[in-house]
Amino acid sequence: MIRLLFIILAASLLASCQPVETTSEKPYKWLIPDDFPRPIAIPYNEMSNAKVTLGRFLFYDKNMSVNQSQSCASCHQQQYAFAERRSVSKGATGQKHRRNAPALVNIAYNKTLTWAHDGLTSIERQVLIPLFSESPVELGATGNEQKILSRFNTNKYKEMTEQAFATEQLDFDLIVKALSSFTRSLISLNSPFDRYAYAMDDTALSKSALRGMDLFFSERLECHHCHGGFNFTQSTTHQRQLLDLRPFHNTGLYNTAGDFSYPAIDTGLFEVTGNKQDVGRFRAPTLRNIGLTAPYMHDGSMGDLSQVIDFYAAAGRSISSGENAGDGRLNPLKSQFIKGFVLNRQEKNDLINFLLTLTDSQFITNPQHSNPFKE
Q: How many CA atoms lie within 13 A of 296 on its CB side?
A: 19
Amino acid, res. 106 = N
Q: Which of 32, 47, 54, 107 binds ligand HEC (CB under 6 A)?
A: 107
Amino acid, res. 171 = D
Stretch that binds ligand HEC, among 36-44, 154-162, 289-297, 361-369 (CB under 6 A): 289-297
| Overall size of the chain counted in residues | 375
CA distance 41 to 341: 41
Q: Which of 47, 66, 104, 164 binds ligand HEC (CB under 6 A)?
A: 104
CA distance 194 to 123: 26
- 12/79 with CB nearer ligand HEC: 79
255 lies in the binding site for ligand HEC (CB under 6 A):
no
Q: 3-class secondary structure for 265-285?
A: CCCECHHHHCCHHHCCEEECC
Residue 264 Cβ, how far from ligand HEC at the closest point, in Å? 15
CA distance 205 to 202: 7
Q: Which of 47, 75, 148, 174 binds ligand HEC (CB under 6 A)?
A: 75
269 lies in the binding site for ligand HEC (CB under 6 A):
no
Stretch that binds ligand HEC, among 37-45, 46-54, 195-203, 294-302 (CB under 6 A): 294-302
Q: Which of 125, 225, 329, 348 binds ligand HEC (CB under 6 A)?
A: 225
Q: Is the peptide bond before 136 cis (omega within 30 degrees of 0)?
A: yes
Residue 16 Cβ, how far from ligand HEC at the closest point, in Å? 23
81 lies in the binding site for ligand HEC (CB under 6 A):
no
Give the count of residues interacting with ligand HEC (CB under 6 A): 51
Residue 224 Cβ, how far from ligand HEC at the closest point, in Å? 8
13 lies in the binding site for ligand HEC (CB under 6 A):
no
Stretch that binds ligand HEC, among 12-20, 108-116, 160-168, 271-279 (CB under 6 A): 108-116
CA distance 132 to 293: 25
Between strands 281-283 and 318-319, the pairing is unpaired
253 lies in the binding site for ligand HEC (CB under 6 A):
yes
CA distance 25 to 162: 13
H or E segment and range at residue 318: strand 318-319
Alpha carbon 228 to chain centroid distance? 14
Number of H helices, E strands in the chain: 15, 4
State whether residue 110 is helix, strand or coil: strand
What binding mask, one character per residue, do residues 124-163 give for ligand HEC by CB under 6 A, x or -?
Answer: --xx--xx------xx------------------------
Q: Under the rule (CB under 6 A), what is the footprint of ligand HEC?
A: 59, 70, 72, 74-76, 89, 91, 97, 99, 101-102, 104, 107, 110, 113-115, 123, 126-127, 130-131, 138-139, 179, 183, 221-223, 225-227, 249, 251, 253, 282, 284-285, 287, 290, 293, 296-298, 308-309, 312, 335, 337-338
